[in-house]
Amino acid sequence: MKNTISVGLLGLGTVGSGVIEILDDHKESIQHKTGCDVTIKKVLVHDLSKPRQLPAEATQLTDRYQDITEDPEIDVVVEVMGGIDHTLSIVLEAMEHGKHIVTANKDLIAQHGAQLFQTSQRNSCDLYYEASVAGGTPIIRPILDGLSSDRISKMMGIVNGTTNFILDKMTRDGADFDSVLKEAQDLGFAEADPTADVDGLDAARKMAILSILGFSMPFNLEDVSVKGIRGTSLSDIKYAKQLGYSIKLIGIADHNEDGASVSVEPTLLPVEHPLSSVHDEYNAVYVYGDAVGETMFYGPGAGKLPTATAVVSDLIAVIKNFRLGVSGSAYVQPQFPKQLKSRKDQLTKKYIRLHVMDQPGMLMELTKIFAQYGISFDQIIQRQADQNDERELMMITHQVSEEDFDQAYNELEALDTIRSIDSVFRVDGGK
């Protein structure tokens, strides 16, 4: 049995340097838990001329990924460099050479998970990816192991720290979207191109991964309905608060006898709901199990050491499997065929804000359209708009099917007496 496990590290950015730091600082603890030393033998970098601090003299830098994938002494490849197509080819090649894989790459898992897992099984390799969802907040292994005896019916959560920071800052400080986005970029919470975050794509990839694991169905990214936060205004945040809600970008996956649905969208949550208390760049995932009831997993969604902690935890799991002789046996194919709910079977409450002409019978005209599709209301607020001949209405419906709401919405758009439909958000988290 090997006394030393050699690691090839792909990438030496923020997370990669964090992995090195944790392996160095926690060396004795990791040795005690795994029964062997863990050394980083080679690190793939883009620029060899850039000065870097390495964990040991024996660690080699290379700009050729083949130096890692083809090295017979390397047991585990840790991928923290990001990217999709080029990274996919490197990881696949590494597994073909018998390397176990630990990755933090949500894009890779969400888009090519099936191919990666098939390759890992064929080559008896482990493939672990805890850090790909919610950073340093454990959620993958709790679903796979801790809740494996239960039947999960719903998962909802804040899985993107950037958008939570933006909406939280807008709520607490009353700052507009553009100014808070710039602050998030200045602080390093948002990228120079924030599209993946603010348009919900990052969260959608994570929800696709969670849905596969939670419901044991082969979902892909195209199955996730996505709406970002760009259209969320201070007015919506203010009115939501008046109605007893906060606004968060929430990933929601639910499953019942009619099938499953997965979405990412700005959502009104009751202010007393635990997810409403998740602030700044933190993540949290709320899981509903038939037996266990409601559980929540909370923690930092990103950052050098939190994400690196999840990566090294996966590395420890891989080493334990290796020493026990059970490598490559953890993955289980999805049990059920994918069954997506029709929009008729997708039931939810809705918030809608609109400007209408201030004239007698206007509210009755709106109510008639909604009543035609069986839509009733839980709360309604109306106020004088800035224009004297307009009224502004904020309404929260009772539960309604997406199909019925779509039809009512289309009829509202055709009314001459409606000046604008400003916002439509999901409402969730209540009874």
> What pLDDT, on the 0 to 100 scale, is given for residue 139?
94
For residue 310, pLDDT beyond 90: yes
- At 192, the pLDDT band (50, 70, 90 cuts) reads confident
For residue 220, pLDDT beyond 70: yes
Topology (CATH level 3) of domain 154-300: Dihydrodipicolinate Reductase; domain 2 (3.30.360)
Q: Are strands 400-401 and 347-357 parallel, antiparallel or unpaired?
A: antiparallel
**What whole-number distance in Å separates Cα of residue 368 and Cα of residue 366?**
5
> Choosing from 99, 169, 206, 227, which is the catalytic residue?
206
Instruction: Work out the mean pLDDT of the chain and round it to a whole number.
Output: 93
Can you read off the two tokens belonging to residue 12?
């030496």
320-331 pLDDT per residue, tens: 998 888 998 878
Task: Name the residue among 58, 78, 65 with its Cα closest to residue 8.
Answer: 78
- At 431, the pLDDT band (50, 70, 90 cuts) reads low
Q: Are strands 418-427 and 282-289 parallel, antiparallel or unpaired?
A: unpaired
Q: Where in the chain is the domain with CATH 3.30.360.10?
A: 154-300
**What whole-number distance in Å separates Cα of residue 189 and Cα of residue 202?**
13
Backbone φ and ψ for 357, nearest 5 degrees, come out as -70, 135
Q: Where in the chain is the domain with CATH 3.40.50.720?
A: 4-136+304-324
Class of domain 4-136+304-324: alpha beta
For residue 1, pLDDT beyond 70: no
**What whole-number distance in Å separates Cα of residue 381 and Cα of residue 370?**
16
In the residue annotation, 206 being an active-site residue is answered as: yes
161-179 pLDDT per residue, tens: 999 999 999 999 999 999 9
> What pLDDT, on the 0 to 100 scale, is given for residue 26?
94
**What whole-number distance in Å separates Cα of residue 415 and Cα of residue 368?**
12
Q: Which CATH architecture has domain 347-427?
A: 2-Layer Sandwich (3.30)
> What pLDDT, on the 0 to 100 scale, is given for residue 362?
84
> What pLDDT, on the 0 to 100 scale, is given for residue 315?
97
Backbone φ and ψ for 225, nearest 5 degrees, come out as -80, 125
**What whole-number distance in Å separates Cα of residue 184 and Cα of residue 172?**
15
Q: Please identify which residue in the block is written with the tokens 């998962």.
A: 155
Q: How far is CA 182 from CA 152, 162, 186, 230, in A?
A: 38, 11, 6, 13
Residue 286: CA atoms inside 13 Å, Cβ hemisphere, count?
20
Task: Name the residue among 168, 214, 160 with its Cα closest to residue 189.
Answer: 160
Q: Where in the chain is the domain with CATH 3.30.70.260?
A: 347-427
